[in-house]
Amino acid sequence: MSKKFEQLSLKQELLSTLEELKFTAMTPIQEQGLPFILDGKDIIAQAKTGSGKTATFGLGILNSLNVASSNIQAIILCPTRELAEQVATEIRRLARKMKNVKVLTICGGAAEVHQEKSLAYGAHIVVGTPGRVLRLLKKDSLNLKMIKTFVLDEADRMLDMGFNEDIMEIASHLPSKRQSLLFSATFQNDIKELGASLQNDAIKVKVDVDHMPNVIDQLFYAVDGHKDKEEALLKVLGKYRPNRLIVFCKTKQITDDVAKFLNRHGIFAAAIHGDLLQNDRTAVLTQFSNRSLSVLVATDVAARGLDIIELEAVINYDLPEVPEIYIHRIGRTGRAGKNGLAFSFFLQRDLSRLSSIEELTHQKCIFEDLALLSTELQYNLTPSMKTMYIGGGKKNNLRPGDILGALVGEAKLDPADVGDITILNILSYVAIKKESINLAINRLRDGKIKNRKFKVGLA
């Protein structure tokens, strides 16, 4: 039986917010990690995306926060801008009953001058990516001398992306007396070494890493060569027909090639990798999140930090080099009480990797013969939603209600035709049923939102 948050020494405002958000019981990472965090201990924790880790360190930070001080008291480093935005949003949500808590996001993709101005006004919590945080430190625009809590989220991805030196240089600007919290999906040697260099007597917390075999059906397919994977992909999709999935590839070029291949076969897919411009990356992730994109083809680094619910399947187009990453990949499906599907293609040279996966998961790999699957099963996957962009956002004081009001009032759409509304700093995205998307765009081009005209179009 999971413990209740009421058993912890949390501020009443936080307990009230948790009750309002229907956080009735702690997840395993919260149950095991939060008491140590509240006690001021350093922890090194292994937990997958979606395990509740953001609330784990977020509640710890907010509980010790001195709102009366304008000093930055906590800094959270994330590997990508998307994850940093997600973390900041979650912390703001947890802090909504605490007055005047300022959470600032410091990442690339936004003008440094605006971030410097925001820092000049003061902030309590900074969430950022290592590169931009270090740039502002070097310009003396960011002062971390009063930090009480230092968090590394998705630390293994940051090391994979080459941020080790940046992290250590940022740490050199922090007070020696601080709490350091390190969260990672895998516990490889470089993670242990990073923890040893940044933490004091860290307590190891490892929870929610394995997946029950009855939750995720895992099937493995032998292919003779890499070129045979395309036909294998169509066969597997044709038989199992998932509506929403991620295909993992080992390189940027392969992700592009696979996405183009799927689109040629009537499957609406998009690639995401490190070479994408930030605006393009944001658009792709938003479309996948709001269900106007069916298939995301991604590298591990690009997909890190995504927490997509109701993902029906994961396909390992290329097997990862280490079994822990395999566990992390497939763990994106089979959530929220639903079963998931995980399909993996392997070559003869990958057999040792299969043995490592069996050892880690404590179950035998189940093989299905591709020759028994038909190539005649047609699988055309076009999502029911499309995404419209609006050339305005938070800087224009736009809110979801303003956009929905304009779509219903100006464009005469049925509210049921409007899906997720995502508002960024200078841009907004709206998911709309594909039958109504052209009507919405054409009418809003001639109409107004909050008595102002904005540029609109198909994302």
Q: What is the DSSP string of 354-399?
A: HHHHHHHHTSPPPB--GGGS-S-----B--SEEEEEES--GGGT--
CA dist 148 and 392 (Å) reads 36
Averaged pLDDT for residues 288-311: 81
* Residue in 208, 227, 256, 223 with CA at minimum distance from that of residue 343: 223
On whether both 116 and 59 belong to a single domain, the answer is: yes
- Tell me the three state secondary structure of residue 90: helix
**CATH, residue 410:** 3.30.70.330
Q: Is residue 333 part of a domain?
A: yes
* Residue in 250, 290, 262, 283 with CA at minimum distance from that of residue 400: 290
Q: What is the pLDDT of residue 1?
A: 46
Residue 437: pLDDT over 90: yes
Q: Is residue 380 part of a domain?
A: no
CA dist 441 and 407 (Å) reads 9
Averaged pLDDT for residues 20-49: 89
Instruction: Give 3-state DSSP helix, strand, coil % of the chain, rounded to 5.
Output: 40, 20, 40
Last residue of a domain, one of 172, 187, 206: 206
Q: Is residue 379 part of a domain?
A: no
CA dist 146 and 136 (Å) reads 16
Q: What is the pLDDT of residue 374?
A: 80
On whether both 396 and 340 belong to a single domain, the answer is: no
Structural domain for 231, as ranges: 216-372
Q: For 95, how many CA atoms within 13 A lie in the half-sphere containing its CB?
A: 24
Q: What is the pLDDT of residue 283?
A: 87
**CATH, residue 265:** 3.40.50.300
Residue 64: pLDDT over 50: yes
DSSP H or E stretch at residue 272: strand 269-272
Last residue of a domain, one of 339, 372, 405: 372
Q: Is residue 211 part of a domain?
A: no
On whether both 351 and 282 belong to a single domain, the answer is: yes
Residue 311: pLDDT over 80: yes
Q: What is the DSSP-derived secondary structure letter of residue 350? A: G
Report the Cα 2 to chain-centroid distance in Å. 25
Last residue of a domain, one of 206, 239, 257: 206
Q: What is the pLDDT of residue 24?
A: 79
On whether both 390 and 304 belong to a single domain, the answer is: no
On whether both 290 and 316 belong to a single domain, the answer is: yes
- Count of structural domains within the chain: 3
CA dist 187 and 413 (Å) reads 50
Least confident of 98-107, 164-173, 375-384, 441-450: 375-384
On whether both 287 and 360 belong to a single domain, the answer is: yes
On whether both 421 and 285 belong to a single domain, the answer is: no
Please give the sequence-ordered ranges of beta strands (E in DSSP) within 27-154, or none if there are none.
Answer: 43-46, 74-77, 103-106, 125-128, 149-152
Pairing of strands 418-423, 428-433: antiparallel
User: Residues 429, 457: contact at Cβ < 8 Å?
Assistant: no
On whether both 395 and 328 belong to a single domain, the answer is: no
Residue 46: pLDDT over 80: yes
Compare 298 and 375 and report the one with higher pLDDT: 298
Averaged pLDDT for residues 59-86: 93
On whether both 109 and 153 belong to a single domain, the answer is: yes
Least confident of 27-36, 187-196, 410-419: 187-196
Compare 239 and 303 and report the one with higher pLDDT: 239
